[in-house]
Amino acid sequence: MDTIPLVHASLGAAELAAVADAFSSGWPAGQGPRGKALETQLTERYRVGGAVAVSNCGAALHLALLALDVQPGDEVIVADYTFPAPAHAVRYVDAVPIFADVRADTGTIDPQSVADLIGPRTVGVIAVDTVGLPADYAALTSIADRHGLFLVEDAACAVGATYQGREAGALAPVACLSFHGRKGITSGEGGALLTTDPVIAAHARLRSSFGIESIFDQAKVVGLPIPVFTEIGYNYKLSDIAAAILLVQLGRVGELLDRRRAVAAHYAELFADEELVTLPYVPQDRTHAWQSYMVKLDPSVDRARVAADLRAQGIGCGHGTWACHLQPVYETKQRCPVSADLFARQLAIPMHAELGTDQVERVAKSLRAALRAAIKQ
């Protein structure tokens, strides 16, 4: 029986040709001509003051906090129900992540939880567009402005999604994208920092390259320019090979998103009368990028048994994402009950642009049977 993977990257001949061009160019490393072209396209697409292409979204988050001058001991409120990258980035700068609970219906950060957590050491908020669904930015922006806090959008999963007519990635003064292999567009690994402030972009670009200007640019200067290291930086550059792939993928955002939307719509139709799952909810003022498709199982269902059943049939599935406050690395006594409940009950089923109609129907049929076989006694 053919397997149906949970995720699958949509890469083809055009991307392969772009890689071949990068190979023959003589400059496969970072901050070369393709990286610059990618940053230009991102700046234009998102109508921001600057874009910095980097090795991954975690790097973008780290650079954002450095550029925003987060200091050791500062508190940054982060969405709890997500991959732990935002909280990790806060720890990278020796600050303290404070976990905000999420909405039960959307899984996105709850603005009221954010407001309740603000204290004298709070300097900012990192909101997350949970598995592709934008957070409540009108409310979050109002809270941040009222208390003098920065607001960062973690749009890692949300390329192509919208909130009140604006594209995810342009919903806060600083935003971070991911181009990991399971995202809507991908170069295998990769990310970007987007910002309305060119000064923040320049700071992030310098810190992404060990604290010096682009070697590619300096190689074109007549004479012998010797870089001067004025501050500690990191090797967060995105290779020109990856940038070449992303230049192609950016042109395919609409096509790939339409295919994911069709899969999501088909799932919604097939599970419309299924009492043992709750389907994803998308408020009317936003659209979903469908990086993942997660259903919430009824409390009577043994999720581990369902997953084992599906995987035995060659159907990929996963737990969804994390309730970060429960991870031992953070050693926190905070409680986020909504996030904890979602972490215990949600199940991710196959979602990518390469899924065929027959595969979607097979997933639905197999999941329905698995649910009934896994009802707790």
Residues annotated catalytic, as ranges: 183
CA 28 to CA 240: how far, in whole Å?
Answer: 5
Helix (H), strand (E) at residue 166: strand 166-167
CA 336 to CA 205: how far, in whole Å?
Answer: 35
Q: Tokens at residue 231, please? A: 């501050």
CA 48 to CA 44: how far, in whole Å?
Answer: 7
Name residues whose C-beta falls within 8 Å of residue 366's C-beta, 6 or more positions apart in sequence. Answer: 309, 310, 313, 315
Residue 160's SS3 state is coil
Q: How far is CA 220 from the centre of its chain?
A: 36
Give DSSP secondary structure letters for 30-88: BSSHHHHHHHHHHHHHHT-SEEEEES-HHHHHHHHHHHTT--TT-EEEEESBS-SHHHH
CA 208 to CA 237: how far, in whole Å?
Answer: 6
Whether residue 192 contacts residue 36, with contact meaning beta carbons closer than 8 Å, is answered with no
Name residues whose C-beta falls within 8 Å of residue 206's C-beta, 6 or more positions apart in sequence. Answer: 212, 213, 231, 233
Phi, psi of 34 (to 5 degrees): -75, -35
First to last CA, the chain: 31
Burial 103-124 (b: 16+ CB within 10 A, else e): beebbbbbbebbbebbeeebbb
Q: Tokens at residue 307, please? A: 């997953």
Q: Tokens at residue 339, please? A: 């996030």
